Copies of this chain bind each other. A is one copy, B any other.
Amino acid sequence: MTRRMKLDLSIILQKATKLVDEKGLDQLSLGSLAEELQIRPPSLYNHINGLNGLKQKLALDGVKKLNEYMLQAAVGRSGDDAIRSVSEAYIQFVRIHPGLYDATTRFPDANDKELQQAQESIVQLVLQVLQAYNLQEEIAIHMVRGLRSILHGFTSIEQMGGFGMPLDINKSFSILINTFIEGIHTVVSNEDEYLQGE
């Protein structure tokens, strides 16, 4: 006598997130999702625009959640400390939600205004964090791209099991972040050379 769970988009995304985080994004199918939800696959079309539409909704949801997560990590901190904290949050998020994160990188809908806004929000957050260094506006944006590359690259490789050597992965991460931070400090002192490309 299980009462039928009331189905709506948020329930669907919740179950889909669980599935992709546990089995991987490529294992997500309308069949498996429908089974989890105890409905038939076609019923899902009343809520989502097919499998691809679902993945795009996951991508949006993932970016929003990542943004919140990083925001929490940034409050009350500044400078090096803020960079480390935000970076730590990023890697933690990906570890908790590998499949959801994967969706954010593989199925972002370039036309989705809400998604663009969430992405922009992350950029702004990191720009805030970098304010402490008084970088020139343009350099600051390059640095945002740099940090994002580092975070995405490291987490992606970790998720694919790409770090083969028997060496503490967390140490690799903190050294990477610290190396980048030290680099920023140096760049701050020689900004003009870097802008023109020396």
Contacts and interface: CB of A to CB of B under 8 A. Distances in A.
A150 B150 contact: yes
B186 A185 contact: yes
Contacts of A176: 142, 145-146, 149
Contacts of A151: 153
A156 B106 CA distance: 10
Nearest to A161: B110
Interface stretch (A2-10, A30-38, A64-72, A164-172): A164-172
A48 B156 CA distance: 28
A135 B142 CA distance: 28
A14 to B, nearest CB: 26
A181 B171 CA distance: 19
Interface string A139-161: 10111011011111110110011
A1 B163 CA distance: 52
Contact of A183 (B157, B163, B179, B194): B179
Contacts of A162: 105, 148
A175 B153 contact: no
A28 B163 CA distance: 28
Contacts of A167: 138, 141-142, 145
B141 A152 contact: no
Contact of A153 (B119, B152, B160, B174): B152
A182 B191 CA distance: 13
A178 B194 contact: yes
